Amino acid sequence: MIPVWLLTILHYVSLITGACILVLLAWQSLKSLQEK
């Protein structure tokens, strides 16, 4: 059985990771647009 507190932390980590990746992708898209 996985403790509830661990699942909660993992869920927050997953959401923050997703948000960070999306920000990085947006930054990369802006960078390549500027290069063009």
Partner 1 sequence: MESGDRMIEYTMLAAYLAVLLWIGVRSARRVRSSDDYTLAGRDVPWIVVLATTAATMLGGGASVGMVSEVGRIGIAAAFVTCGWHLQLIFTGMFVAPKLRGLNLITVGDYIHDKFGPLARELAVVNSVVFLVGALAAQMAAIGTMTNTILGVPYSTALFIGAAVTIFYSTIGGIRAVVSTDMLQFVILIVGFGIASALLMSQQGGFATMEAAANEGQFHLTGHLTTLQLVSLFVAFLLGEAFVPPYVVRCLIAKDQHHAKRGVTGAGLFLLLFLPIVTMVLGTTAQINPEVQTAIENEKQALLASAAEDNLPLTEADALKQASQVTFPTLVRVTFHPFFAGIMIAAIIAAVMSSADSCLSSLATVVMEDIFRRHVKPEATDRQLLQVAQASTLILGVAGAVCAWFFSNVAEILLFVYDFWAPTMVLPFMVALFWYRESRVYAVVASMFTGATAAVIWRFILGSPMDIGPALFGFSVALVTFFVGLLHTPGKPHGQLFRPGYNKSDEETR
Judged by the rule CB under 8 A, the positions of this chain that interact with partner 1 are: 1-2, 4, 7-8, 10-11, 13-15, 17-19, 21-22, 24-25, 28
Alpha carbon 34 to its chain's center: 23
As given in the structure block, the two tokens for residue 19 are: 């948000």
Min dist. Cβ of residue 33 to partner 1 (A): 13
Min dist. Cβ of residue 27 to partner 1 (A): 8
Min dist. Cβ of residue 19 to partner 1 (A): 7
Q: Please state, in angstroms and rounded to a whole number, the distance separating the CA atoms of residues 34 and 19.
A: 23
